[in-house]
Structure formats: C-alpha cells, structure tokens
Amino acid sequence: MENWLFTGRDGIQTPVSLPHTWNAADGQDGGNDYYRGTCLYETVFPKPEFDAQTQCVYLEFQGVNASASVECNGSHVISHDGGYSTFRADITSFLQDENRLSVKADNSVSDSIYPQKADFTFYGGIYRDVLLRIIPKDHFEMDYYGAQGIKVTPQVKGKNAQIRVESWHKAEGAKVSISLYDAGRNCVAQGSGTDVTLEIKDVHLWNGRRDPYLYTAKAELVKDGTVLDEVCVPFGVRTFRVDPRKGFYLNGRRYPLHGVSRHQDRKGIGNALLKEHHDEDMKLIREIGANTVRLAHYQHDQYFYDLCDRYGMIVWAEIPYISEHLPGGRQDTVNQMKELIFQNYNHPCIVTWGVSNEITISTKDRQDMLDNHRMLNDLCHSLDPTRVTTLACYAMCNPFSKVVHITDIVSYNLYLGWYVPGLFLNDVFFRLFHARYPKRCIGYSEYGAEGMPNLHSEKPRRGDHTEEYQALYHEYMLKCFAKYPFIWATHVWNMFDFAADARDQGGEPGMNHKGLVTFDRKTKKDSFYLYQAYWTHRPMVHICSKRFQERGTGQIQVKVYSNQPEVSLYRNGKLLEKQRAQKVFVFSVNLEKGAETKIEAVVDTKKGKIKDQALFQWKEHPKSYKLEKKRSKSANWV
C-alpha cells in the first residue's frame, strides 16, 4: 500500500514510504533522544475492485513493532502484540468508496510484550510490507496465526518420501485437491483431502548448500468442478539428527554446522529493509562460506527464510523471549512461538526452534521462568514433533542450572577472551561440559569480539576494539572448535555490526561492533576473510591490516589469510618469501622510513595466480588508530 502519512512524537505529519521506522536515526546513535512510544500511520485508498458476492478483502501486515492497533474508517479492525510476525484482518465489511486506514504502532516499555531488555535497538514502526489482498470468500485459512492454511510434513522412507499435506479452509461442501511438483514443474504425486499423505518416488533430497532442492505443494479448493482458491508452498525433503559425540547430521551424513548470527537492521534505515537488502545479506553470508544462520533474536522476514531455503542454509529460528523474564509475559511467549512455528513450518531450512536467549541475566521469579520454559518446550513439540528445541544460555548460567537441560539441545553465549580474560577458557568450558554431560548436545550460539576498521595496534590486546585483536580472537576460536567434533553448531556473533541503543563503545555510541562486516555492509573486516579461508574452497588470499598503513616501526609482521597451502609474499615487486601454512601466514617485512612499501601476496591455482596487495609506511601512526580514553570503557548494556 502507498501514500502513507506519518505522525511522530512531535505531532508533525509527514509523507513516508513503507517499510518505515521512526528510529532509523535515534536508535543508532546512542543518544538520549531514542524514542519508544506510539506513532500514527494513515493512508487513504479507494475501494478496491472486487466481486462482493464471491470475494473478500484482507489486510496483511508483515511486521509492526511492537504492538499495532488498526482502524478502518474509524472502526477498530484488529490489535496485535509482537513486532516480528505476520497478522491479517478481513476488512470487507468496513469498506466504503473512499477509505481511511490508520495504524497506531507502539514500541513503548511494556510488562507483557517481548522483548523489553536486550542488546539491540527495538525499532518502532511499520517496518515490513502491508498488502491489500483480494481473495475468494471460499478460501484457505487466512486468520489462524498468520499462517498459510497448508502444512507439509515430509518423511523419508528409503529412496522414497511420504509427504503429509494438511490444509484448513472456509468453504462448505468444497474439496481439497493436492498436487506435488518437482523443481522442473513436473507433477510427481496427486491426491485429495484436508489430511492426505502422498508418495514421492526416488525423492530428491534438500541437501544444504550442496544441493538445496525444492519441491512445491499446490492445494486447490474445488467445488462443483470449479477451483475457488489455491495455495502453493515450496518444501524440501531432508532428514537430520544431532549426535552428542559427533554433532549435526544431514540426510544421514555428518554435516558440521559453522555459521553466523544475523540481526535485521542496517545503517540509515534501521530494520525497514527492502528485498535487495536481504539479498545482499545472503550474498555476503554465502560468500563467507557459512552453512548455518542463527536468525536472532526474533522472527525474521519471510523473504529471508525463503532465501535460506533456496541457498541451503541450516536455520535456528527463535522468539524474542530474551534477557528478562516478564511475569506478565507468558501469553506473549505462547503467541509469538505459535506464530513463529505456524508461519515457518514449511521451511526446510529450519531445524530448531529457539525457546529463549540469555534469560537468566536478570530473572527474579526463577520458578515461573522455568515453568514458562517447560511449557514452551512442550508447546514446540506438540506443534512440531519433527524438529528439536534449543536455547541460548548466558555465560554465567552454569552447566548445572535446570534451564540448561530443558530443551532437546543447548548452546552457550560465551565471550571468553573478550569480556573475560583468557581465550584458553573456551577449551576448559568445552572439556568440562562434555565430560560432565557426554549425552548432552552442546553448541556455541554466540562468540565474538568488537572490531573497528579504523582502530589498529601493533600489539593488540583484549578490549582495545582494534581490527587486529578481533582477528586474533577469531583465529583462536576456529582452532578451538576444530578440537571438539561433538559441537552441534557454532554461530559467530555477529555477521554484521548492528544498532544497540544502550551501548557506548569503540568511539561510536549506539552500536555493537562485533560484526565481521560493518553496519552499512561496505567494509569486510579482516576476520571476514579468516572465516572465508576456513570455510570456502574457491581459492582466496587476503592481506590483513590494510587500513593500518602508517606503522611506527621499521619492521612489521604482515599477516595473510588464504585457503591455499602456499603463499608467496613480494616486497616492492621482489619475492621476499614463500611460506606453507594452514590458513594463517605470518611474514616479517622491513619498511623504508618515509617511503611507501608495496606488499603483494600471491597464490598459485590451477586457473592461474590470485593476488592481493597493500601499502605500508614507516611513519608515526596517527592518534586516530587508538581508541580515545573517554571511549575506552566496555560498558555493556546490562
């Protein structure tokens, strides 16, 4: 829908285009003007052309944060709590020749709607699309938790697959016809009924990044030989399991999960993303070589789940039950979990439902919190017995805590070596946890270190926010993970820098800088290339610390990342050294005082040479390379 007028907290009405958030600026600068409250969106539209005898008109909101109250021509249409899911309303009876639609969006503090305390900005607004949908009066279900009215459950049986298709509709005397199509649009099975099981022979499996093959299920609502309505959904056929000794298995084969977490915002536009923004994010995630994405800490745009299906990403999907248990928030956790599962059930990419994140940080009513977790865990299993449940534990939540053992599998958010000194403690944690609970599947849901592309040091240390320390941190973590095959998944925190209004770190307030890519997606930090060296096969080479051009010494170490076994380093066009190593190559290079030294790293491949280059200068480096003392505090949001 178009031609929206927005009235903000100042009472001024301005034209806006959807998607839109009013926190695109104030939620990203760490200032005191970050507004959480109620704002108004209004639009006027003519009565759409439709047959009132056979059709009806629905409004579909794909995301309004965090609560919405919708009116059409002065009459209340629908209210919805929870800012990350789709909801709909039949507005047929409200329509006039000209129609005024008003939406109050509210992201203010609440004691019953999640999230309320977390390390990210709670953007307000209609930040996803709003659609006006004209559909038949006799139609597949539109009103039940924003779902599609069709549920597809595959089960592999040898070389074949049994596909159970359930559907719900509003049409007396109508029948449902089901057709299954392969990727070439060839019909491979047909049947009829609201709960029917069909067989696909010689089934083509959805096999992660290697081969993310998708089928399509089409449900037709038929009455007296006429098709009244139809719904088409892509689906994939795959098996998976999680082994406490050997980690994740996909389609019977061990498939180690290594990937990233993602927040949905970016510089200048907040969370009001367009499709091209989602596409760019997926391109970068694929480029780094990840095979899994934790979509934190809420339900993401349906388009991004579609991308994960299409490109074979294994997904952890979760609700924003995070950081603080609200005694009055139980029903909201139920509603958000139902919406998450019902709206995303058909996505083959999703293997686990996340119940909560770091909930023990500030929980007072422990028993109520535990009861809520057990209830949610049971709810997930009742709604979807095909997937496992998980949660992300806070670092200070010890392995003996009851909450650690509620879900099927578990992961930890640990920043040992960043917030806590001692990178070796990561090894200690894994060994102790696995020794005490050898049958418990354990993963790392968050780990990372702040890294600013403009901050540099020849002697990087914990807490300095330099690009160099972030790289050292991740070098250690990748070697650490390689020792423990029982880890079911690792997820870097975070793929991208993101807004966190309560933070003031790294010289840029209102931001979390643990991303491997900057907030605007324009700068890949050195750590990005480290992961690329570990996770990709296409030959690559990268010289680190290119932005650290001015050095205060005549002899420097030049670090190179590559997924090739040998790197040749050239200094001013002359070969300095050839070196064989695993992923990380370190060379000693002399600089000439006052002159630029050109460094080139070269790897030989079957298709030719691949090169990367950098310029360094022996010169007193500027003060801007070092974090100012007034910005050196690592004051976390908690």
pLDDT of res. 13: 97
Angstrom CA distances, 48 to 75, 98, 172, 590, stand at 18, 9, 26, 73
pLDDT of res. 621: 83
**What's the pLDDT band for 364 if we cut at 50, 70, 90?**
low
pLDDT of residue 497 exceeding 80: yes
Task: Give mean pLDDT, residues 150-176.
Answer: 97
**What is the distance between the alpha carbons of residues 425 and 423, in angstroms, rounded to a whole number?**
5
Mean pLDDT over all residues of the chain? 95
**What's the pLDDT band for 31 if we cut at 50, 70, 90?**
low
Structural contact between residues 547 and 467, judged by C-beta atoms closer than 8 angstroms:
yes
**What is the distance between the alpha carbons of residues 127 and 278, in angstroms, rounded to a whole number?**
14
pLDDT of residue 638 exceeding 60: no
Structural contact between residues 464 and 473, judged by C-beta atoms closer than 8 angstroms:
no
pLDDT of residue 374 exceeding 50: yes
pLDDT of residue 365 exceeding 90: no
pLDDT tens digits along 308-351: 999 999 999 999 999 999 999 999 999 999 999 999 999 999 99
Within a 10 A sphere around the Cβ of 379, how many other Cβ atoms?
18
Candidates 553, 552, 530; CA nearest to 543 is: 530
Q: Rounded to two decimals, what is the model's pTM? A: 0.96
Mapped to the 3 state alphabet, what secondary structure does 295-322 carry?
ECCCCCCHHHHHHHHHHCCEEEEECCCE
Distance of CA 626 to the CA centre of its chain: 32
pLDDT of residue 637 exceeding 70: no
Q: Counting runs of H as helices and runs of E as strands, what totals does the chain give?
A: 7, 43
Task: Give mean pLDDT, residues 133-139.
Answer: 97
Structural contact between residues 564 and 576, judged by C-beta atoms closer than 8 angstroms:
no
The bridge status of strand 169-170 relative to strand 139-140 is antiparallel
pLDDT of res. 29: 73
Catalytic residue status for 358: yes
pLDDT tens digits along 544-602: 999 999 999 999 999 999 999 999 999 999 999 999 999 999 999 999 888 999 999 99
Q: Which residues contact 45 (CB under 8 A, 6 or more apart)?
A: 1, 3, 98, 99, 101, 132
**What's the pLDDT band for 630 if we cut at 50, 70, 90?**
low
pLDDT of residue 96 exceeding 70: yes
**What is the distance between the alpha carbons of residues 240 and 555, in angstroms, rounded to a whole number?**
51
pLDDT of res. 432: 96
pLDDT tens digits along 527-547: 999 999 999 999 999 999 999
Largest pairwise CA distance in the chain: 88
pLDDT of residue 27 exceeding 90: no
pLDDT of residue 394 exceeding 80: yes
Structural contact between residues 176 and 193, judged by C-beta atoms closer than 8 angstroms:
yes
pLDDT of res. 598: 97
The angle that helices 467-482 and 526-535 make with each other, rounded to 10 degrees, is 20
The one-letter code for the residue type at 72 is C
Task: Give mean pLDDT, residues 281-292.
Answer: 98
The bridge status of strand 388-393 relative to strand 350-357 is parallel
pLDDT of res. 636: 45
pLDDT of res. 142: 95
Candidates 273, 7, 279, 3; CA nearest to 132 is: 3
Strand partners, 68: 80, 105
**What is the distance between the alpha carbons of residues 261 and 115, in angstroms, rounded to a whole number?**
18
Q: How big is the CA angle at 344 (ends 338 and 345), to the nearest 5 degrees?
A: 85
The catalytic position among 318, 324, 339, 358 is 358
Structural contact between residues 124 and 39, judged by C-beta atoms closer than 8 angstroms:
yes
